[in-house]
Structure 1
Amino acid sequence: MVSGVNEEPTPSAGRGGTPLWRHVRDDLRGRLAQGEFVDSFPGENELAARYGVSRHTIRAALRELREEGLVTAARGRRQRPVGEAGIEQPLGALYSLFASVEAAGLEQRSIVRTLDVRADAHVAVRLGMEESTPLLYLERIRLADGEPLAHDKVWLLAADARALLDADFGHTGLYDELADRCGIRLVGGEERIHAVVPTPAERRLLDLPEGVAAFSIQRLGRTHGRTVEWRTTLIRADRFSVLAQFDARAGYRLDPAGSRFTGPARSGRRLDAVR
């Protein structure tokens, strides 16, 4: 039986003519609502053994739960409850997504889509430079344990970061390479995080199930006295959460929208965080 259950397994024939997969679906739905699968969700073989049914029956039940937005899984991967975000970003602290993915016991990999030098007037202005300033552009799909986690696009001043053209970003952190190859360490910045409904193209890119939202993250990264990075990241909300600490005296530090942050007119929280 599923963990924590003492009843007999679901019988091999449906009660009152009800298909077996519905019995399994309803039981799993109830257990999900009770928060039973916080640590892990059983695989198909385990569920089939515990319920005493075929894998075909289990797949039918899981398909219903996916359509209801209760569980999710990438192709070839085990199901997990929607909202089970295994990777946390602490607010107000220097932060590495690369390190946090591996700290969660997941393998960090990236698919590099683009790495080149180009001009982008819009980004150059954000960095406080002339519109024609050469920029190093890196675009990656960030993977955690082989599953898409985030679509990451970063621009750095080419004068600072041209040596990164020789780096292999398949399994390395950007900021580690920036420090080792270019002698630049980010010490702070400003970041805005807000929830979005991904477009169909973005869902395909991140293998994101229908009904699951994403976080849009915009960041200006700074070293001592100057801005060196502009980054936009779309990250799956079912795998990522934001953690804040507060106390009665300090509370949260909030800034009005637009305060030194040249972005959309939305309210946001300032933080010194890098990834």
Structure 2
Amino acid sequence: MPRGTKIRPLDRGSPLPLWAQLEADLRRRTRAGAFDERFPGEHELGAEYGVSRHTVRDALRRLRDKGILESGRGRGTWVRRPRIEQPLGVLYSLFRSVEAMGLEQRNEVRALEVRVEENVAGRIGRPAATEFVYLERLRLADGEPLALDSTWLPRAIAGPLLEADFTHSGLYDELARLTGTRLTGGREIITAIAPTAANRKLLKIPAGTAAFEVRRVGCLRNQPIEWRETLIRGDRFSVTAEWSMQEGYRMDVSGHGVAFDTPVGEEPVSRRQRARPRRASGRS
């Protein structure tokens, strides 16, 4: 403990064990943001509270079990960041998911320009020479990188977005405000991948942690108008789904990730079909 640091004595006359008092105080300080930059080591905590390393380890173990702290070999202990939970089956909006968690949402716009990309045009059934508004954003949650998001929209529809400020606003909100266009649905494929070294550094993804790659076709009344590729930190994001015995579970797990049964532009399958289990593909 650095010279001059005030010792935080625990109540040794209390019926509450020392490890429990230490756990409660560390939890309080964590919630107050005291350890946002760095979490102290076991020796430092023992000196600060005047307790043994065994007592410190008991308190830290319980904080890890409760999901408040995380630790890794050679990396020490750190405060666990909340995961962004995104439900399947609704029009995906990372902006709204971050806001719903009570986190500050901010974007770093890396590109906002006009591009002609034949492969993207083919993905949404547009002529090869189609001009697209291309938007690339680094998505931040409470200042921490969460996702790298790239979106293509036909310039004929989304041209006014070239003048928009996306620092604190969502793409779909700006699209509706500036053009009156509101997407009505789409199709996504979600895949767990190993990010490149450059993307791992950009998003600050811990070593050995996978990322989610989300590829989306967004539609306006069953007509594809958006192609999007998003890379999301696997340690900060989870996907949830609901099912029932009546409605079933409209997902097909394959070697390439998760794909919805109903292709873009087609009507949903019947309730009987949705409830029937799908046979896994031959690829693993």
Identity of aligned residues (%): 48
| Cα distance, 1:12–1:156 mapped onto 2, change above 3 Å | closer
Aligned partner of 1:136 in structure 2 is 133
Indicate yes or no: 2:101 matched with 1:31. Answer: no
1:7 and 2:7 matched: no
Alignment map for 1:36-51 (pairs within 5 Å)? 36=66, 38=67, 40-41=68-69
1:268 aligns with one of 234, 255, 258: 258
1:208 counterpart = 2:239: no
Tell me if the contact between 1:117 and 1:158 (Cα under 8 Å) persists in the aligned partners.
Answer: yes
| Conservation of the 8 A alpha-carbon contact between 1:109 and 1:142 | yes
How many Å apart are 1:90 and its aligned residue? 0.6
In structure 2, give the amino acid aligned to 1:123.
Answer: V
CA shift, 1:151, in A, is: 0.3
Matches within 5 A, 1:61-76: 65-67=71-73
- Tell me if 1:106 matches 2:133: no
SS class of match (1:251): coil
Which structure has more relative contact order (CA 8 Å, sep 6+)? It is: 1
Shift of 1:22: 7.3
Give secondary structure in 2 for the equivalent of 1:205.
helix
- Match of residue 97 from structure 1: 94
For residues 108 and 13 of structure 1, the distance between their equivalents in structure 2, rounded to whole angstroms, comes to 33
The number of aligned residues is: 223
- CA gap of 1:67–1:151, structure 2 versus 1, over 3 A, is farther
Partners of 1:12 and 1:244 in 2: CA distance: 43
Q: 2:83 aligns with which of 81, 86, 100?
A: 86
Q: Is the 8 A contact 2:251 2:261 kept in 1?
A: no
User: Structure 1 stretches of 5 or more lacking a match?
Assistant: 15-19, 42-61, 73-78, 258-264
Deviations for 1:35-59, whole angstroms, at most 9, x for unmatched residues? 22x3x44xxxxxxxxxxxxxxxxxx
Highest CA radius of gyration, 1 or 2?
2
- Aligned mate of 2:196, from 196, 199, 206: 199
Q: Please list every run of at least 4 consecutive aligned residues from structure 1 whose deviation after the TM superposition is greater than 6 angstroms.
A: 9-14
State the secondary structure of the residue aligned to 1:137: strand
Label 1:235 to 1:30 Cα distance change in 2 as closer, same or farther (>3 A).
same
Structure 1 equivalent of residue 278 of structure 2: none
TM-score by length of 2: 0.69
Residue 240 of structure 1 corresponds to which residue in structure 2?
237
Please state whether the residue corresponding to 2:61 is helix, strand or coil. Answer: helix
Distance in structure 2 (CA, Å) of the matches to 1:184 and 1:147: 30
C-alpha distance 12-158 of structure 1, shift in aligned 2 (>3 A) = closer
**1:75 corresponds to which residue?**
none
Residue number in structure 1 paired with 2:269? none
Post-superposition Cα deviations, 1:11-31, rounded to whole Å, max 9, x if no partner, equal 8899xxxxx997588546633
Question: Contact 2:190–2:215 (CA<8 Å) still a contact in 1?
Answer: yes
Name 1:54's counterpart in structure 2: none
Distance 1:97 1:12 in 2: 39
Q: What's the Cα RMSD here?
A: 3.0
User: What TM-score do the two structures reach when normalised by structure 1?
Assistant: 0.71
1:217 counterpart residue number: 214
